[in-house]
Amino acid sequence: MADELANLDAKMMVLLEYIQYLQADLAHPPTQMEREARVRTAIEERNNLLAARQTLVETKHAIAASQFEGAGPSKKK
Protein backbone atom coordinates (compact mmCIF):
# COMPACT_ATOMS: atom_id res chain seq x y z
CA MET A 1 0.00 0.00 0.00
CA ALA A 2 2.79 2.41 0.88
CA ASP A 3 4.52 1.59 -2.42
CA GLU A 4 1.32 2.38 -4.33
CA LEU A 5 0.96 5.71 -2.53
CA ALA A 6 4.59 6.60 -3.22
CA ASN A 7 4.12 5.63 -6.87
CA LEU A 8 1.00 7.81 -7.15
CA ASP A 9 2.78 10.71 -5.45
CA ALA A 10 5.67 10.40 -7.90
CA LYS A 11 3.27 10.37 -10.86
CA MET A 12 1.47 13.43 -9.50
CA MET A 13 4.77 15.30 -9.19
CA VAL A 14 5.65 14.45 -12.80
CA LEU A 15 2.25 15.69 -13.96
CA LEU A 16 2.59 18.88 -11.92
CA GLU A 17 5.98 19.57 -13.51
CA TYR A 18 4.50 18.88 -16.95
CA ILE A 19 1.59 21.26 -16.30
CA GLN A 20 4.02 23.98 -15.24
CA TYR A 21 6.09 23.29 -18.37
CA LEU A 22 2.99 23.66 -20.57
CA GLN A 23 1.95 26.85 -18.79
CA ALA A 24 5.40 28.32 -19.44
CA ASP A 25 5.04 27.36 -23.13
CA LEU A 26 1.72 29.18 -23.29
CA ALA A 27 3.27 32.30 -21.81
CA HIS A 28 6.37 32.13 -24.06
CA PRO A 29 5.86 29.80 -27.06
CA PRO A 30 9.03 27.95 -28.12
CA THR A 31 10.59 28.38 -31.55
CA GLN A 32 10.76 25.55 -34.07
CA MET A 33 14.44 24.99 -33.17
CA GLU A 34 13.58 24.78 -29.47
CA ARG A 35 10.82 22.26 -30.15
CA GLU A 36 13.13 20.12 -32.28
CA ALA A 37 15.82 20.24 -29.59
CA ARG A 38 13.27 19.19 -26.96
CA VAL A 39 12.19 16.24 -29.08
CA ARG A 40 15.80 15.14 -29.61
CA THR A 41 16.53 15.47 -25.89
CA ALA A 42 13.39 13.55 -24.93
CA ILE A 43 14.25 10.75 -27.36
CA GLU A 44 17.81 10.53 -26.00
CA GLU A 45 16.52 10.44 -22.42
CA ARG A 46 14.00 7.74 -23.32
CA ASN A 47 16.68 5.67 -25.04
CA ASN A 48 18.94 6.00 -21.98
CA LEU A 49 16.10 4.90 -19.70
CA LEU A 50 15.29 1.96 -21.95
CA ALA A 51 18.94 0.89 -21.94
CA ALA A 52 19.12 1.18 -18.15
CA ARG A 53 15.89 -0.80 -17.82
CA GLN A 54 17.18 -3.51 -20.14
CA THR A 55 20.37 -3.78 -18.08
CA LEU A 56 18.33 -4.13 -14.89
CA VAL A 57 16.09 -6.79 -16.44
CA GLU A 58 19.10 -8.77 -17.68
CA THR A 59 20.76 -8.50 -14.26
CA LYS A 60 17.55 -9.63 -12.55
CA HIS A 61 17.31 -12.63 -14.88
CA ALA A 62 20.96 -13.51 -14.31
CA ILE A 63 20.50 -13.36 -10.53
CA ALA A 64 17.34 -15.46 -10.72
CA ALA A 65 19.06 -18.02 -12.95
CA SER A 66 22.06 -18.29 -10.63
CA GLN A 67 19.76 -18.71 -7.62
CA PHE A 68 17.73 -21.33 -9.46
CA GLU A 69 20.88 -23.25 -10.39
CA GLY A 70 22.12 -23.05 -6.80
CA ALA A 71 18.76 -24.22 -5.43
CA GLY A 72 19.02 -27.66 -7.01
CA PRO A 73 19.66 -30.82 -4.99
CA SER A 74 22.93 -30.66 -3.12
CA LYS A 75 25.61 -33.13 -4.10
CA LYS A 76 27.11 -34.21 -0.79
CA LYS A 77 29.89 -36.78 -0.82
* Residue 72 maps to a domain: no
* Residue 49 maps to a domain: yes
User: What pLDDT, on the 0 to 100 scale, is given for residue 2?
Assistant: 82
* Residue 65 maps to a domain: no
- Cβ contact 66:74 at 8 Å: no
Number of domains in the chain: 1
* Residue 74 maps to a domain: no
Global pTM reads 0.62
pLDDT in tens, 2-20: 888 999 999 999 999 999 9
* Residue 20 maps to a domain: yes
